Structures are given as structure tokens and as C-alpha cells.
């Protein structure tokens, strides 16, 4: 079972850098995306038709989940294109919206599973009972349909690539080609690897809480499995709503405060507090699990029926020796810690990707985005292992003490590296603003386009009045398909 769970992130971790390298090599994201979506369609169909393969079904499930993970490696290609297709001023908002879409998927997914539950175990069968559409397979077949829709949207004629970021820097630097522009700009490898490691730590802590949540509440609060699933479902739903609001607030916050300040003090500091709050401070140990029977009280010489349907284990199991000596986690600190996580994680994961793309500059970022995606996948592989080894054997003190120290060290490292987290401005020495010679956005029917660049006005009000024209000119230049762009610079 552990291999089946780990197969998905393992496939994504291995193939994310490879997909990124592929998109860099061919200079386009269309083919990698089409191939990955086709693979996702096939793998989802394979996963949903496991009932047609009763022999060695566990191996087919392992293969299908691994292939779904491989196809999911296209997120590295998507993040790379997002960095290439947005201006620096648009990057934070764009990344936050993509992260928001990902969280919406996490919300809609469980809701979709609930919606198809009325289909029951039998559901509907087609093709001489070879095709089963029931509560277990419906979501997989819905994934197949959505994947086909995505594949169609990326076909030629429906999707057109625009590499705006490199052209924006090219114009600011006064270079003659995009390749010359990014070749002349050396990325800061220290800050890049710092952000990758910070991303790993952040995702690891979130995945750990997600993996451990239900078991933790059953151990600490003596909830039944039904109660734990019910209350955790409510808590996660509220947390998702808080996360959605946080994603929307990130861009306005970054217009008031520097991005690296928001990352450190708004993201990592809250995550540190969230982990520290999970270190138990209760008055005594949690309730120790006992076998309880609905009809036979635990008194006298009664014989207990050990049928699975008649026994409920409530509390921390005796097999975990730390339960008897470790203080219990209180419900208050659990809820407050989860609230801090619901705010800190969206801020951290969004701004790490945003700053990462800006630090790398206008160069193709497929491989680098693949490495960051792979770091996140590695945390998803190690999270369940950590739960099995550390939490089960050593308890909450070691689990949340270790993760608190991990988050704190990552935050301190970001503080020490904060000057490296400020993306370069890429401005040319002339410090110029660009205006088009014509406000008409209709493409010029020649192979060349001419834009006028005038020195900045010292009058702030005049600059504000011209802001719309300047943005129009810049967008026209960046989206232009002209082979040559002539830039006329007027001195002061």
C-alpha cells in the first residue's frame, strides 16, 4: 500500500526536470503538454478500469498511479511558461491565481467524490459489463473527460505561446535578441537553491499535517474514525476558504510590502508558529485506547466479541508507548495551529515560486521549475515515511519539535539571504520609459516595428497621466511578432 501511495509523487519527482528540459530544448510547451495530457487520459482510464483486470490488480494500480504522477510532471512546464508569459509586474498575481486554482482542485475533488457516492457499488455497466461506472470509478472517468478537454485547448489554433518576459527585459536592456538578453544575465544560484530548499521544507510540513491529521485527532482527542473524518472535513473546508482569501490578498499585500518580507514574516513565521503550537501542553497524557463493545460492558467476567463491527478503539493505542508519558494535545492549540498553517502556507508557496521565477531572470526555466516541483514531490514521498517512523515510535514531542526546528532554520536562512531574494530590476542604464509612436494596436504590416523611448519625467503627476499609454506601448512591443524592434531613445 505504501508503494502505491508513493508511486504518484515518485513519478512526478523523476519526470518533472525531464519535462522541463524537454520544453527548453524544443523552445515550446505545446508538445510536452499534449503528450502528458494524453498519458494522463490513458492512466486515468486504466485506473478506472481496474475491475476489468482482476488478476494482479495491485500491480495495475501501481502502474496507473505511477503514470498519473509522470503525466502530472507537466506542472513544471506550466510554471515555466507562466514565468515566460507574464511581465515582472504581473508575476505575483499570476502565480497566486494558479496556486488558487490548485487549491480549488483540492476542494472540488472531495466534493466530486461525495457527489458520485449515490451511484453505489453497482452503478452502471456498459460493453457487456466490461465498463463499470460506479462510486469508485466515476471520478476517474470524469478525469478522462476533463483531460481530453484540456488536450483540445492546447491544440494549434486554440493556444498560442507568447514569451513576453524575455522580450520585456530585452527592451529594457536595449539588446537585439532574447537569447542575447538572458545569456548576459547570470542567475543567482545561491538564492535559487535557497528557495528550492525552502519550498521542500514548506511542502513537507503541510503534507505531514495533511497525512497525520485524522490519526492525530483520533489519538489525542479519543475521537472515533467517523468523528475524526467528519470534524477534520469541516476544519479542512474552513481552512480551504481561509486559504482562498489569502491567495486573493497576496498581490495587494506585495504592493504595500516587499515580496521577501511578506514571504518571511507572513508565510514562514506563521508556519513556524503553527508547528510550535502543535507541541503538546496538556495537563496529562491523552486517553489510552480501550476495546469498547456496544452491548457488553467491560465489567466482571464478560467475554468480549472481537468481531471488527463490534469493537471501537478510542484514544491513543497502548502499542504507542509514548502515549502514557506524553502530555495530550489540546483542541484549542490544534485549531489555532491549523489556522496559522492555512494562512502561512498559501503565502509561502506562492511567493517562493514568484521570487524564484524573477531571480532566474528571462532565461528558459523548465529545468529549474522541474527541480522545484521535484523538491515538492520528494516531500510528499517522505511525509508518510516520517509519520510511520517518528510519530508512531516517538510521539508528538519529537514529531512537532523536529518540524518546528526545521521551519525555524528555514526561516532564519531566508532572513540571512533576504538581500538575495530581491529580484534584479533589469533596467538599462538610461532609466527610460517606452511609448509607442502610434497608440493603434493593429499590427504594422512590415517585418519591423518602431517604438519611441523617452527619458522619464521628473514630474510624478505627469508620469501617472502617461501610465496607461506607457503600458499600452509596452504590451504592444512585447506581444509584437516583428523580427526587429527599433528603439528610439530621446535624451533629457
Band (309; pLDDT cuts 50, 70, 90): very low
The total of structural domains in the chain comes to 3
Residues 400 and 454 in one domain: no
At which of 162, 196, 225 does a domain end? 162
Query: 462 lies in a domain?
Result: yes
Distance separating alpha carbons of residues 177 and 440, to the nearest angstrom: 24
- Nearest 5°: CA angle at 282, between 279 and 287? 105
79 and 41 share one domain: yes
| Domain match, 168 and 81 both | no
Answer yes or no: is pLDDT of 393 > 60: yes
Q: Is the pLDDT of residue 18 over 90?
A: yes
Residue 98 lies in a domain: no
User: pTM above 0.85?
Assistant: no
pLDDT at 270: 95
Q: How confident is the model at residue 476 (pLDDT cuts 50, 70, 90)?
A: low
Residue 68 lies in a domain: yes
- Is residue 104's pLDDT more than 50? yes
Domain shared by 39 and 180, yes or no = no
Q: Quote the pLDDT of residue 298.
A: 47
Residue 97 within a domain: no
Query: CB under 8 Å to 332, separation ≥6 — which residues?
Result: none
Closest CA to 350 of 165, 91, 104: 91
> Of 376, 400, 426, which closes a domain?
426
What pLDDT shows up at residue 380?
Answer: 85
d(CA 191, CA 418): 9
Domain boundaries, position 64: 1-85+116-162
Same domain, 360 and 223: yes
Residue 171 lies in a domain: yes
Q: Kindly report which listed range (22-31, 388-397, 458-467) carries the lowest average pLDDT score.
A: 458-467
Give the residue carrying C-alpha cell 514569451: 163
The pLDDT value recorded for residue 290 is 65
Average pLDDT of 141-152?
91
Rounded to the nearest integer, the mean pLDDT of the chain is: 78
Would you state the pLDDT for residue 226?
78
C-alpha of 392 from chain center: 27
Residue 184 confidence (pLDDT): 66
- Domain boundary, last residue among 400, 426, 452: 426
Is residue 271 within 8 Å of 344, Cβ to Cβ? yes
Task: Give the highest mean pLDDT range of 206-210, 217-221, 302-306, 358-362.
Answer: 217-221
Same domain, 403 and 263: yes
Q: What is the pLDDT of residues 411-454, one digit of tens each?
A: 999 999 988 888 766 665 444 444 444 444 444 444 444 444 44
In a domain, 292, yes or no: yes
* Spatial CA neighbour of 377 closest among 160, 203, 224: 203
- 319 and 438 inside one domain: no
Asked whether residue 291 falls in the same domain as residue 352, the answer is yes
Does residue 469 share a domain with residue 403? Answer: no
Residue 262 in this model has a pLDDT that exceeds 90: yes
Residues 268 and 372 in one domain: yes
479 and 399 in a single domain? The answer is no
61 and 51 together in one domain: yes
Report if residue 106 sits inside a domain. no
- Checking if the pLDDT of 272 tops 50, the result is yes
Residue 351 has pLDDT above 60, yes or no: yes
For 77, other C-beta atoms within 10 Å of its C-beta total 27
CATH code, domain with 171:
1.20.1250.20
* pLDDT score recorded for residue 426: 60
342 closest CA partner among 189, 219, 237, 487: 237
Residue 14 has pLDDT above 50, yes or no: yes
Tens-place pLDDT, residues 42-86: 999 888 888 777 677 888 888 999 999 999 999 889 888 888 888
91 domain-assigned: no
β-strand pairing of 448-455 with 484-490:
parallel
Amino acid at each position: 500500500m505504501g508503494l502505491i501511495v508513493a508511486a504518484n509523487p515518485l513519478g512526478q519527482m523523476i519526470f518533472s526536470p525531464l519535462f522541463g528540459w524537454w520544453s527548453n530544448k524544443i523552445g515550446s510547451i505545446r508538445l510536452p503538454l499534449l503528450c502528458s495530457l494524453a498519458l494522463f487520459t490513458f492512466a486515468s482510464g486504466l485506473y478506472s478500469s481496474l475491475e476489468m483486470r482482476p488478476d494482479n490488480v495491485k500491480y495495475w494500480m501501481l502502474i496507473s498511479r505511477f503514470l498519473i504522477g509522470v503525466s502530472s510532471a507537466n506542472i513544471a512546464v506550466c510554471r515555466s511558461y507562466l514565468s515566460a508569459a507574464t511581465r515582472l509586474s504581473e508575476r505575483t498575481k499570476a502565480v497566486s491565481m494558479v496556486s488558487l486554482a490548485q487549491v480549488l482542485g483540492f476542494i472540488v475533488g472531495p466534493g466530486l467524490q461525495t457527489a458520485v457516492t449515490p451511484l453505489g457499488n453497482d452503478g452502471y455497466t456498459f460493453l457487456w459489463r466490461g465498463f463499470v461506472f460506479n462510486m469508485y470509478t466515476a471520478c476517474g472517468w470524469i478525469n478522462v473527460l476533463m483531460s481530453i478537454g484540456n488536450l483540445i485547448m492546447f491544440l494549434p489554433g486554440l493556444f498560442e505561446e507568447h514569451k513576453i518576459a524575455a522580450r520585456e527585459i530585452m527592451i529594457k536592456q536595449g539588446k537585439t535578441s532574447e537569447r542575447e538578453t538572458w545569456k548576459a544575465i547570470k542567475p543567482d544560484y545561491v538564492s535559487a537553491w535557497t528557495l528550492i530548499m525552502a519550498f521542500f521544507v514548506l511542502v513537507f510540513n503541510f503534507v505531514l499535517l495533511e497525512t497525520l491529521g485524522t490519526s492525530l485527532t483520533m489519538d489525542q482527542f479519543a475521537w472515533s474514525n467517523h468523528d475524526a473524518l467528519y470534524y477534520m472535513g469541516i476544519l479542512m473546508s474552513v481552512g480551504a476558504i481561509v486559504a482562498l482569501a489569502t491567495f486573493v490578498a497576496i498581490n495587494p499585500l506585495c504592493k504595500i510590502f516587499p515580496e521577501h518580507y511578506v514571504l518571511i514574516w507572513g508565510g514562514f513565521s506563521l508556519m513556524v508558529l503553527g508547528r510550535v503550537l502543535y507541541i503538546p501542553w496538556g495537563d496529562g497524557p491523552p486517553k489510552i485506547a480501550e476495546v469498547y463493545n456496544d452491548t457488553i460492558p467491560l465489567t466482571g467476567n464478560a467475554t468480549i466479541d472481537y468481531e471488527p463491527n463490534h469493537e471501537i478503539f478510542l484514544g491513543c493505542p497502548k502499542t504507542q508507548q509514548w502515549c502514557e508519558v506524553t502530555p495530550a494535545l489540546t483542541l484549542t492549540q490544534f485549531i489555532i495551529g491549523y489556522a496559522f498553517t492555512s494562512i502561512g502556507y498559501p503565502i509561502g508557496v506562492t511567493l517562493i515560486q514568484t521570487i524564484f521565477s524573477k531571480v532566474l531572470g528571462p532565461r528558459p526555466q523548465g529545468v529549474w521549475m522541474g527541480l522545484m516541483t521535484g523538491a515538492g514531490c520528494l516531500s510528499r514521498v517522505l511525509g508518510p515515511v516520517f509519520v510511520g517512523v517518528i510519530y508512531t515510535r516517538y510521539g508528538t514531542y519529537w514529531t512537532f519539535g523536529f518540524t518546528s526546528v526545521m521551519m525555524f532554520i528555514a526561516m532564519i536562512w531566508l532572513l540571512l539571504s533576504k538581500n538575495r531574494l530581491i529580484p534584479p530590476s533589469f533596467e538599462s542604464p538610461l532609466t527610460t520609459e517606452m511609448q509607442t509612436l502610434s497608440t493603434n494596436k493593429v499590427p504594422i504590416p512590415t517585418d519591423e516595428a518602431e517604438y519611441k523611448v523617452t527619458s522619464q519625467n521628473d514630474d510624478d503627476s505627469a508620469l501617472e497621466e502617461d501610465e496607461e499609454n506607457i503600458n499600452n506601448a509596452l504590451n504592444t512591443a512585447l506581444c509584437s511578432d516583428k523580427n526587429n524592434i527599433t528603439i528610439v531613445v530621446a535624451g533629457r
